[in-house]
Amino acid sequence: METFKLNPFAKLVSQDYLLVITPSEEVVSEVRKLKDFAKKLIGYYHSFNSKAHITVNHYYDGKALFFDERVPTCKSMTGRIDVFEIKICGFDFFEHQGNYTIYAKVELSQNIKAAFSRFKKVFGADVPQTPHITIARSLSYNQYKLLWYYFKKQSFECSFYADEIVVLKTPTRRFYKLPMEVETGFKLRNVV
């Protein structure tokens, strides 16, 4: 009996899409300083190199197969969502199955709640209920405990306007971490 063998020259067609809100350059710079501080305390960690962003949705493997076909509809629908202000105030953390994530906390104003509710209608149920900017993720308990001792005491307040959803794309590969490239953007409605 012959087993199925993948052609080594076959083109990889699966994609991985990450839809994000990118903060202002000032906020990106401040988050980079926080990540550098965390690295000094605990050493290299999984999300150290990722640029500051707020995830809106993530399409991968089977979920991404039809994303390209939805792009025109998504652009049209997000064009009806008003630009909104995002305020960051302090830090918080998630715990998930023994791993921890420390993040900069987005103030859940009525505008934020309304915008993310509309994003769910456009992009699907996987839109997060707790928008945030990750500082350090996939931390062990000891790493988390050391970092949280410092972050829980820190004041961090800033704001910026969300005017676009940026779509990042990379081939989906199980064993490789490839940098994501900008695929497209969905502009929000500027009401000024």
| Span 158-169, pLDDT tens digits | 999 999 999 998
Kindly state the helix (H) or strand (E) to which residue 102 belongs, with its residue range. strand 99-106
Q: Which is higher by pLDDT, 49 or 174?
A: 49
The domains of the chain, with CATH numbers, are 15-187 (3.90.1140.10)
Q: Is the pLDDT of residue 8 over 60?
A: no
Whether 157 and 134 have beta carbons less than 8 Å apart is answered as no
Using CA atoms, how far apart are residues 169 and 16, in angstroms rounded to an integer?
A: 6
pTM here is 0.87
Q: What is the pLDDT of residue 169?
A: 87
Computed over every residue of the chain, the mean pLDDT equals: 88
Q: What is the pLDDT of residue 13?
A: 55
Using CA atoms, how far apart are residues 2 and 5, in angstroms rounded to an integer?
A: 9
| Span 28-80, pLDDT tens digits | 999 999 999 999 999 999 889 999 999 999 887 666 678 888 899 999 999 99
Report residue 17's pLDDT band, with 50, 70 and 90 as the boundaries.
confident
